[in-house]
Structure formats: structure tokens, C-alpha cells
Amino acid sequence: MNFKKISFWLSTALLTAIMLFSIYNYFFNHEMIHGFFESMGYPTYLIYPLASAKILGLIAVWGNFSKWLKEWAYAGFFFNAILAFFAHYMISDGQHIGAVLAFAFVLISYFTGKQVRP
């Protein structure tokens, strides 16, 4: 197994872990996430649709069904990571590190995946 394959699978697994952690919190720690969304100025009705979109994005990335669908999933994760970083950074809650890691894993997974997977 070469370096690119290891990088792809590791970054994709770590991206998945971050997204599953946020999905879990969105569904099972809803009151806490509700408070975070309110403190950042986001509407709280986005919590469940965002969690559902993350689930569908993970299915698209891991399923490798359609190149078009996978591109949109990565785009969604890309924008989610950027917006999460700035949301946490602007309110100075110190939780922007997870968004930085997610952003890095999205980029590594996307670019190595183009070379590793058909």
C-alpha cells in the first residue's frame, strides 16, 4: 500500500470520525447544540437538516456511487468546515481546532481520492 492510499483512507476515516461526532451531538445533545447555534447567531432549525446532510455526504463519499455526487459531498464538507471555523473563531470559544482538522482532512481526502479511487 503506497503513501497516497494510506493518506486517502486515513484522512477519510478521520473526516468521518469528526462528522459522526458532530452528527451524534446534533441528534443526542440537541439542547447543547441549540445553545451553540443561538450564541453564534445561526437559526436552530438548521441543526437536523445539517446532520442529515452530513450523513448523506458520508454515504456519498464512502459509497463512491457517482463522481458528481461525491464532488458535491466534498464541496458540502469543505464549506461546512470553513463556516464552522469562522463561526467558532468569531465568538472566540476555542473550538475552532476541530474545524481546522476537518478542513485539512477534507482537502487531503479529496485530492488523494482523485488519484487513488476511480
Summarised one tens digit per residue, pLDDT across range 60-99 is: 999 989 999 999 999 999 999 999 999 888 888 878 898 9
φ, ψ of residue 65 to 5 degrees: the values are: -75, -45
Is the model's pTM score more than 0.85?
yes
Residue 118 has pLDDT above 80, yes or no: no
| Average pLDDT of the chain, as a whole number | 93
What mean pLDDT do residues 17-23 have? 96
Burial class (CB in 10 A: 0-12, 13-18, 19+), 23: middle
Secondary-structure breakdown of the chain: helix, strand, coil percentages, each rounded to the nearest 5: 85, 0, 15
Query: What's the CA gap between 108 and 102, in Å, rounded?
Result: 10
Q: Grid coordinates standing for 87? A: 463561526
What mean pLDDT do residues 96-114 have? 94
Residue 8 has pLDDT above 90, yes or no: yes
What mean pLDDT do residues 22-42 have? 92
- Residue whose C-alpha is closest to residue 79's, from 103, 58, 55: 103
pLDDT score recorded for residue 91:
86
Residue 21 has pLDDT above 90, yes or no: yes
Q: Grid coordinates standing for 41? A: 447567531
pLDDT score recorded for residue 24:
97
